[in-house]
Structure 1
């Protein structure tokens, strides 16, 4: 039977197991066809990936425990690289001849070094009371921070409106002062003109009686003679 041996470790196994081993153990994250940032799940084909995505609700407890913010972009990474392993004597997986008949008391070599298993099923970790308290406090802090930011923005908007109102009032005040100054100047000019007219009138009133007096002719009385 043909087995494949990993070129980077002592793992040996069938093609399917060897490919799965190399994918999960040695392949860089950027080269993994389908990679979950949250739970580090790796998949070769889209079927397994979609099956993993269907278990997304099971991540919620883990998210609450580690306080991880999720979004579609950071949760799922789909590589545009085609996944192909080099299976050759000098490749990533090396073909070897392996006999299926072995003494039962000799352990299988592929179990010498444990390989971490990645499953589509996500293990839900129960939160302790302390974790729950920390999570609750962080939630409250986050809510208070959001409220503070909102109120600060509202206050800044209020200050901007007040500053704008102040500028408008100052502009109106300056305009009113200018109008009052012009009006006062006109009033002063009118008062000066009226005073000048009254002075002229008084002067005329003094001159006109003198003219009348000079025009009067005094006729002496005639003495009556008695015969």
Structure 2
């Protein structure tokens, strides 16, 4: 049964006394006057149990679930709670048959600590914000999974490169050892190759020199045509007569 109504402007809350007190603290009280206030998502709670339940409900706080919430910077604890008053139009709450509009004061009145353990979930969380938070958390989880998969692939690639590098080092070591073993043979082969090149050069030079000498000698020789066309000498004629 709704016994009390909220006197704050544009507020249509109706409920029992305890729920009405909790409604004023969670809905209208300044953040610094809320017993437990989450600076990450602006969640409000009147007791530590409700705040811890909030940590386990929303994904963005799951990592903080097992730690002491009172020592975290995201948790703002008020030493004194908002002093909720009721009874007449100058109070936060009035009986249902005495509805008055009560403008929000600029100065917070005297505070009174609330020790009652209310288990009703905070109704000030907007559903759109919660759905957006869920979507953001899902995207974060997807990005974390993708990042983990890429890191694993990178680690496997690095391991393969290290194995290839080790195999190449072993191959280079074997080639160097084989080179040291074949060094005398290679040196002898190089010397033989140099000797062959030198011999071929000498043969080529000799042929060139012989060709040059033959050309000079040919130029100095008397042409055969002139020899046979010239008239026979007297000695030649006398020799022929003696023979015949």
TM-score by length of 1: 0.37
Q: Is the radius of gyration larger for structure 1 or structure 2?
A: 2
More RCO (CA 8 Å, sep 6+): 1
Please, what TM-score do these two structures have when normalized by structure 2? 0.35
